[in-house]
Amino acid sequence: MKIRLILLSVVMLSACSASPPAIEYYLLDTPSSAVSKGQSNVPAVVLESLQMPDYLLQNGLVMSKGTNQLHISSQHYWAQSMKTAVQSVLLKELNGADSNLRLLAGAEVTAQHSRYQLHIDLIHLLIVQQHGIRLQARYWLTGQEKNKILHQGTSDIDIALTADGYEHAVEKMREAVVKFCQQLNQELGPAVLVH
């Protein structure tokens, strides 16, 4: 009886001393990429709206496990809101040296900048289990008549995962957002010049 009690105590103590799983935080926007105000000789476009589904507005990284099933991680979290992170990548990528437009958002927007407005509806940005990253979005550009659409389009980007782990998946998510920015640059720059 005494030996059983000692064994039970040892088992209980070892269970109590087991450390909880580590929580890790990730950034979609890398601090190493340079911030630019954009070129002054290209048209300014205001980021008027950036919509996202509810599942992207929480802290855990999201993985699609099937057609209609999502897994939200309880150990792998975003270090900042997804909306802030995506906006940051958009601003960096669309204000680069080779950009056809200058994207403005937040405090830098004034009445003189509001000639063109960009609206983005980010439908999906998630890890697809055992496959890759999926980004789907709709976007449209409006002019001074805010209900008149000057240009609209969709984006459907798939990027394969070539390694395991959330860190690699986050790198590929950023790559998907960068590809989306390249598409916006190619399509919206000429659309703004036409109007």
Q: Which domain holds residue 164?
A: 36-194
Q: What pLDDT is attached to residue 25?
A: 95
Q: First-to-last CA distance in the chain?
A: 88
Q: Tell me the C-alpha distance between 76 and 21, whole Å.
A: 10
Distance CA 63, CA 126 (A): 6
162 assigned to some structural domain:
yes
Q: Is 146 part of a structural domain of the chain?
A: yes
Q: For residue range 75-90, list pLDDT tens digits in order.
A: 999 999 999 999 999 9
Determine how β-strand 132-142 pairs with β-strand 117-128. antiparallel
Residue 42: inside a domain: yes
pLDDT at 17: 53
Token pair, residue 114, equals 């509001």
pLDDT at residue number 97:
77
From first to last of its 195 residues, what are the pLDDT tens digits of the chain? 555 545 455 555 555 555 667 899 999 987 766 666 656 678 888 999 999 999 999 999 999 887 789 999 999 999 999 999 999 999 999 988 788 888 888 766 665 666 889 999 999 999 998 789 999 999 999 987 767 899 999 999 999 999 988 999 999 999 999 999 999 999 987 766 565
Q: Cβ distance 99 to 189 under 8 Å?
A: yes
Question: How many domains, in total, are found in the chain?
Answer: 1
Q: Which tokens belong to 36? A: 């630019």
For 83-130, write each residue's pLDDT tens digit: 999 999 999 999 887 888 888 887 666 656 668 899 999 999 999 987
The pTM assigned to this predicted structure is 0.83
CATH number at residue 102: 3.40.50.10610
- On whether residue 21 sits in a domain, the answer given is no
**12 occurs within a structural domain:** no
Q: Is residue 28 part of a domain?
A: no
* H/E stretch holding 87: helix 82-94
